Amino acid sequence: MKGRLLKLCVMVSGRGSNLDAIVRSIDEGKLNACVNVVISDRHDALALKRVEEWNAAGGKRIESFVIERSSFPGKDSFDDAIASILEEREVDLIVLAGFMRVLGAKFAARFAGKIINIHPSLLPSFPGLHAQRQALAYGTKISGCTVHFVDKTLDGGSIISQVAVPVLDGDTEDTLSERILKEEHRLLPETIQKLAANQIRFG
């Protein structure tokens, strides 16, 4: 496999299915990267249990941290706490995989070109929360998912890769979300590998 070994930080808030897809791709030899650290803004995130299980099973240990916004007096100090962890570990790429906090403009500038996000729509359509609900309300026939670089704008950074997913008659937010999520699990590791192999330039 060509490309340098990327040291990843994956940031999560929920169940961590995209984190699982990344780790699985690494284990299968499809992704030239290692997950060095996982950061969650929620202590009850299921993704942290996944990390515990992987560490208990042996292999390369993944550090995990819970950085809760309520523990800090302001947004800048919350962002700074995350940034300190990333800089101390010399992370190559920060992957927002279901991380439900908006990082500040100073944080985005500090790690410019080193942060990517996976979003469940074909950006620039339907940015922000509940993208699948937005797509259904609008009546679009095509939705999908996007990997993009993160900048100071909400879901507005440069687009790296996208996959289209049809919106079917009778779709609900749950059924559309599930079909998009399957594509996310393929697209995100593939995109990270293209960065590792220098097929895509870091932003």
Q: Residue 89's closest CA among 48, 39, 35, 36?
A: 36
Q: Could you list the active site residues?
A: 119
Residues 38 and 64: beta-carbon distance below 8 Å: yes
Measured N-to-C along each axis, helices 46-56 and 17-27 cross at an angle, to the nearest 10 degrees, of: 30
Neighbours of 15 (CB within 10 A): 14
Q: What is the C-alpha to C-alpha distance for residues 191 and 161, in angstroms, rounded to an integer?
A: 7
Residues 88 and 128: beta-carbon distance below 8 Å: no
DSSP-based three-state secondary structure for 193: helix
